[in-house]
Amino acid sequence: MDLTLKIWRQANVDEDGKIVNYSISDVSPDMSFLEMMDMHNEQLINKGEDPVAFDHDCREGICGMCSMFINGEAHGPDRLVTTCQLHMRKFKDGDTIVIEPFRANAFPVIKDLAVDRSAFDRIQQAGGFISVNTSGNTQDANAIPIEKHDADKAFDAATCIGCGACVASCKNASAMLFVSAKVSQYSLLPQGKVEATDRVLNMVKQMDEEGFGNCTNTGACEVECPKGISLENVARMNSEYLYASLKG
């Protein structure tokens, strides 16, 4: 396949960026999108040009590091995959592909397609944990049975990989889906219920301070989420938040 790539190039956070056009040929449909980017970078290096910076690590869709906005969609046209699992067979010979970073005020660009998502870490630090010491002197793991239905729901929420596709897809750059996934995971488990009130208040406060927008229930985040995190979690967080606010 021969393709035209329109890639966002930006030297660092302080400089203005722009779209630069490249062409690439002999792309195999079996390649992953990032392997195509590798090939492109190899060609740039051999020409003595600066390769395109992008984040990536595990390349099996679980670490959440890759973060490209491809043809107007976070992680590209395929559903339920991250960019590293997107394969070139989803494109046709002669296609033009526009590749941008995940855009949000809370995600400043580091270089080209790599952005700083440390805001997510700070939200987790505000309350995304259960305050139990790691000494191993806890009770037996089977001491509290947990209804399978709840355990499964908690698991589904916990599969969030923290990639930020929800934020990049949202017209308000809201992080509600991300935050609600963590809030839901813990609020569904007996171990997490103990400090549920403080958790939701603190995490939402931090989320607002980081400059993420509000949720207007458009649902783009759910569509683009590579792990299929459900909007139901946002509803659960809203109810947790309301309850916590009333409880004071």
Partner 1 sequence: MKLNKVKIRYRKNSNGTTSIRLNYFGGYSYENGIKKALRLIRTLPDHLITNPNTEKDKLKNIHLKEQALIIASDWEKNLLLKKNESSFKKNNFFSNLNSKIPDGPLADKWTNHKSKINLVSPANKRSIDIIVVGTGLAGASASATLAELGYNVKTFCFQDSPRRAHSIAAQGGINAAKNYQGDGDSTYRLFYDTIKGGDYRSREANVYRLAEVSTNIIDQCVAQGVPFARDYGGLLDNRSFGGVLVSRTFYAKGQTGQQLLLGAYSAMNRQIARGKIKMYNRHEMMDLVLVNGKARGIIARNLVNGEIERHSAHAVVIASGGYGNVFFLSTNAMGSNVSASWKIHKRGAHFCNPCYTQIHPTCIPVSGEHQSKLTLMSESLRNDGRIWVPKKLEDVKAIKSGELKPTDLNENDRDYYLERRYPAFGNLVPRDVASRAAKERCDAGFGVNKTGEAVYLDFAAAITRYGKEQALVKGQDENDPILVKKLGQEVVRAKYGNLFQMYEKIVDQNPYETPMMIYPAVHYTMGGVWVDYNLMTSIPGCYAIGEANFSDHGANRLGASALMQGLADGYFVLPYTIGDYLSDDIRTGPISTDTPEFESAEKEVKNRIDSLINNKGKNSVDFYHKKLGKIMWDKCGMSRNTKGLKEAMIEIKKLREDFYKNVSVPGSSSEFNEQLAKAGRVADFLELGELFAKDALERTESCGGHFREESQTPEGEALRDDKNFSFSSAWEYNGEPSKAKLHKEQLKFEAIEVKTRSYK
Among 191, 216, 217, 245, binds partner 1 (CB under 8 A): 191
Interaction of residue 59 with partner 1, rule CB under 8 A: yes
The amino acid at residue 233 is N
What distances in angstroms separate CA 19 from CA 35, 51, 99, 200, 243, one per listed residue? 21, 14, 9, 40, 46
Q: What's the gap between Cα 226 and its chain centre?
A: 8
Interaction of residue 2 with partner 1, rule CB under 8 A: no
Which pair of structure tokens corresponds to residue 231? 């909007």
Among 4, 20, 72, 80, binds partner 1 (CB under 8 A): 80
Among 110, 219, 222, 232, binds partner 1 (CB under 8 A): 110
Total site size for partner 1, rule CB under 8 A: 78
For partner 1, the closer of residues 209 and 214 by Cβ is 209
Helix (H, G, I), strand (E, B) or coil at 143: coil
Stretch that binds partner 1, among 15-23, 93-101, 110-118, 212-220 (CB under 8 A): 110-118
What distances in angstroms separate CA 117 from CA 121, 131, 242, one per listed residue? 8, 24, 27
Burial class (CB in 10 A: 0-12, 13-18, 19+), 56: buried
Among 8, 33, 64, 196, binds partner 1 (CB under 8 A): 64
For partner 1, the closer of residues 93 and 121 by Cβ is 121
* Cβ atoms < 10 Å from Cβ of 93: 10
Q: Which of residues 132-161 bind partner 1 (CB under 8 A)?
A: 132-136, 138-142, 145-148, 151-152, 154-155, 158-159, 161
Interaction of residue 232 with partner 1, rule CB under 8 A: no
